[in-house]
Copies of this chain bind each other. A is one copy, B any other.
């Protein structure tokens, strides 16, 4: 059932799709209106043109449905699947005009998001076997955060908080405003909006780390620590809080960082270094409307 497509998307995705179609359509897809007759039907395949981990497949399927709920869409490989160059991702059958009008927006979603999933998979693979989680950040494309975070999960990564309201994360500027790590922790503990939010705090030195730990931090963000400092930090914490390494994490260095024993490594680059994957749509059949349609 169509509605199933939308209940599986994050909140707001239907609106995002509509706005994306508005943006691409302007006053109408004039080329298709001139070239394709209203009754003409077609069949098309969305294909991977290179190997990738998929994400955004359900969004792309929904794009076709928003343009025309009468299109039949069958997904061959769902989000999180690894596909090879040439493999089919989904088939679409119905009014050819609608297929061509939806094409670019659908591909833009699946290409972008699969890029993030594929990039994430590389980082995750690099730490295989180690008990560390690779997590994303709030460096996400405006209005695409929920989808990009899904893409990170499709690639085997984990998410950090979704927005400013679902976690307390005290950064250097907040500490500066409060005066000290201890005062910052005190204000956060007393002022936190509710008791289901943990408190994470960024520390730049082992001294700060000690202060934060004593002040009851739930998570310690070890920002730009050297590998030796990370190791010392993990030892110091000794399981009393979670530890997150961040800053300048590359594919080359990530395993070394993971081996320090930190619980999490946050990598903005899962999203901001991801290039799009190459996906295309091929029309594999063009026909006329049958009497019944």
Interface residues in chain A, defined as those with a beta carbon under 8 Å from any beta carbon in chain B: 1, 3-4, 7-8, 10-12, 16, 19-38, 40, 42, 67-70, 95-98, 100-101, 103-105, 107-109, 111-112, 115, 133, 135, 138-146, 158-171, 173-178, 184, 187-188, 190-198, 200, 218-219, 242, 244, 263-264, 269, 272-276, 281, 283, 286
Number of chain copies forming the complex: 6
Name A219's closest neighbour in chain B (CB-CB): B195
* Given contact pairs A23-B142, A23-B145, A38-B8, A30 touches B193 in the complex (Cβ within 8 A): yes
Contact call B26/A162, Cβ cutoff below 8 A: yes
* Given contact pairs A112-B272, A196-B197, A275-B272, A166 touches B165 in the complex (Cβ within 8 A): yes
Report chain B residues within 8 Å CB of A28.
Answer: 10-11, 146, 164-165, 193
**How far apart sit A76 and B233, CA to CA, in the bound complex (Å)?**
39
Report chain B residues within 8 Å CB of A3.
Answer: 68-70
With beta carbons under 8 angstroms apart, the residue of B4, B31, B101 that contacts A169 is B31
With beta carbons under 8 angstroms apart, the residue of B115, B143, B169, B177 that contacts A23 is B143
Name A30's closest neighbour in chain B (CB-CB): B193
Q: Distance in Å from the Cβ of A36 to the closest Cβ of chain B? A: 5
Name A28's closest neighbour in chain B (CB-CB): B165
